[in-house]
Structure 1
Amino acid sequence: MRTHPSPHSPTTRAAHCPRPVPGAALRLFLFHHAGGSHLLYRDWVRHFPADWEVHLLDAPGRGRLSHLPACPDVESLVDFFRDEIVLAMDRPFAFFGHSMGGLAAYELTNRLAAEGLPEPVWLGLSARGAPRLHGEPENRHAMPDDELRRHLAAMGGTPPEVLADEDVWQLLSPMIRNDLRLVETWRPRPGTPPLRVPLSVFGGTEDVVVPPSRLTAWERHARRFLGLHLFEGDHFYFRDRTPEMVGLVSEGIRAALAARTGAGAR
């Protein structure tokens, strides 16, 4: 059951499109991490091919969607994103998600497949571990404030001044805890088939949340596993690597499109 209003009005749209492209060859949807927003990708857009239209997604409860209630679970988050993406299926599209965004992109891909709707031509998952039967063992959303702040500092994604400022922390911590709870209470559905779409995986060697072994395990969950791209760094390994990351994402999408065209010609 959906818990959010339809995202068809400007005040409830999930996607921010900084560079509309009439007649775009492809639409790329980017999903952000827990506690984050579309601003994670604000510097990425200009590096993608000019004929691709890039959509930066926001989960409810933050930024321009702060007037909407936060999603309590992955299913309602997928509901929210699905309502908008089904309106953009008139051309090829692809998904890339980081951390919580990777989980949302993975589950949305499964949802589209289960409903018989078009699926993305390519899926990129960043710093998101492969599904485990009993879900995530962490309970970070219930940590005391000081412990959670230390954990976030070790992850590397939250500016130190945010973690040190008590007023800012009190403002942001409910959203952060909600997103972490959303991720940590998710369980994979028994019998979920392997992904049919080409899958590329990305991560950092020093990630305290998702070690490389959790990333390589994705190979068992995809029919076409295009490989793991591992970088030196923490959970936010791609800082200062925008051109390189965009290049790899673009390369993966192009390879998937070429394979799709070749299969269609046979």
Structure 2
Amino acid sequence: MVGKTRPRGLLADPLRPLPRSAVTRLLVAALLGGTQAAVLDDPDLRELLLPIIRNDYRLIDRYRRSTDAPRLRADLLALTGDRDPQVTVEQARGWAATTDGAFSLHVLAGDHFYLVPAAAEVARLTASVYPSTAGNT
């Protein structure tokens, strides 16, 4: 399953490094509306979460797949929201070029955080593409 918004070559302009205040504003903005403002209003939680979130963004911005890396041989499932401001359906479809295995793209209703209301559908799709992992913990 794809866990990054765009395949290599389709990366948006980096948003980071940002100061803590900018990361906090970004998280509560409509662009990434999945983080509840109340969580970030708590100073202890904010201090706990912001380093983790900043490191996630650092990885997203800095990772580049080597141009001579072989294509994947695994089946690949790409999921995206139909109103995701971070990635278009066409950009998500670009993941097909990274694998020699089967590729499937599913567009779910929602924005960047479509996973939250669609958790059951995501689990069903994942189990249908990767049946040997269904039920394993």
Indicate whether the TM-score tops 0.5: yes
Q: 2:24 — aligned with what? A: 149
- Whichever residue aligns with residue 27 of structure 2, its letter is L
Q: 1:69 — aligned with what? A: none
**2:4 matches 1:130:** no
Shift of 1:224: 2.6
Structure 1 consecutive aligned stretches of length 4 or more whose deviation exceeds 4 Å = none
Partners of 2:110 and 2:21 lie apart in 1 by 24
Structure 2, unpaired ranges of 5+: none
Change beyond 3 A, Cα 1:234–1:175: same
- Whichever residue aligns with residue 187 of structure 1, its letter is R
Q: 1:221 — aligned with what? A: 98
Shift of 1:149: 2.3
Deviations along 1:8-30, whole A, 9 cap, x unmatched? xxxxxxxxxxxxxxxxxxxxxxx
Tell me the matched-pair count: 131
2:117 to 208, 232, 240: 240
**2:78 matches 1:201:** yes
Partners of 1:184 and 1:191 lie apart in 2 by 20
Does the CA contact (< 8 Å) of 2:4 and 2:60 recur in 1? no
Change beyond 3 A, Cα 1:179–1:126: closer
Q: 1:158 — aligned with what? A: 35
**Identity value in percent:** 30
The structure whose residues are more often strand, as a share, is 1
Shift of 1:180: 1.1
Matches within 5 A, 1:87-106: none
TM-score normalised by the chain length of structure 2: 0.79
**2:57 matches 1:184:** no
Bigger Rg, which one = 1
CA RMSD of aligned residues (A): 2.4
Partners of 1:147 and 1:234 lie apart in 2 by 21
Shift of 1:219: 1.2
Change beyond 3 A, Cα 1:225–1:137: farther
Q: 2:15 — aligned with what? A: 139
Shift of 1:248: 0.8
- Whichever residue aligns with residue 61 of structure 2, its letter is E
**2:135 matches 1:251:** no
- Whichever residue aligns with residue 138 of structure 1, its letter is P
Shift of 1:127: 5.1
